[in-house]
Amino acid sequence: MHLDHLKYLIELKNCSSINIASQKLFITPSTLSIAIKNLEKELGFKIIHRTHKGILLTDAGKHLVDAAKYFFLQIDSIIEENTKNSLLENVSEPIHFCAVQGALDSFLPQAICGFYRLYPQATLSVSAVAASKIIEIFEANTEHQFLL
């Protein structure tokens, strides 16, 4: 079973039209239709009913779409979790942010809280700098220093 075919089926369910779904998937209607027929053949049951108004999912098709959505959510969750963990794996020193006062007063506190929720093992330091010093700091920028 090709995972792409399950993604096609999810989009087909969302659109209820082979033509519209194929446009959103950047494939031809024929390619989409063949993929769904192959999926039905492989699984041994009908997934969709074709009508003059578009397509309707069979009960089995509805269950398959629900299972496919759950599957892709789980895969995305695993990827996201592993990406989060690996992003800061090799960072052993603090990540230093330099920001002008306006950034410190406005969006930075919320951004730091969000960052800590994602990366609780990270060490951050934040410094306020004069706007006139930003260029100097930028030119001397180290690997783990960011300017805002």
Domain count, the chain: 2
Last residue of a domain, one of 86, 104, 138: 86
The reply to whether 64 and 112 lie within a common domain is no
Q: Has residue 1 got a pLDDT over 90?
A: no
Separation of alpha carbons 52 and 82, rounded Å: 45
Q: What count of Cα atoms within 13 Å lies in the side-chain half-sphere of residue 144? A: 14
| 3-state secondary structure at position 140 | coil
In tens, the pLDDT along 25-67 reads: 999 999 999 999 999 999 999 999 998 888 999 999 999 999 9
pTM: predicted TM-score of the whole model, two decimal places: 0.57
Per-residue pLDDT, 92: 63
**Residue 146: strand pairing partners:** 97
Separation of alpha carbons 57 and 44, rounded Å: 15
Separation of alpha carbons 78 and 70, rounded Å: 12
The reply to whether 69 and 116 lie within a common domain is no
Per the structure, the complete domain to which residue 23 belongs is given by 3-86
The CATH number for 56's domain is: 1.10.10.10
Per-residue pLDDT, 22: 94
The reply to whether 12 and 33 lie within a common domain is yes
In tens, the pLDDT along 111-144 reads: 778 777 777 777 777 777 776 776 676 677 654 4
In tens, the pLDDT along 65-110 reads: 999 999 988 888 887 777 665 655 655 667 777 776 666 666 667 7
Per-residue pLDDT, 129: 74
The reply to whether 108 and 79 lie within a common domain is no
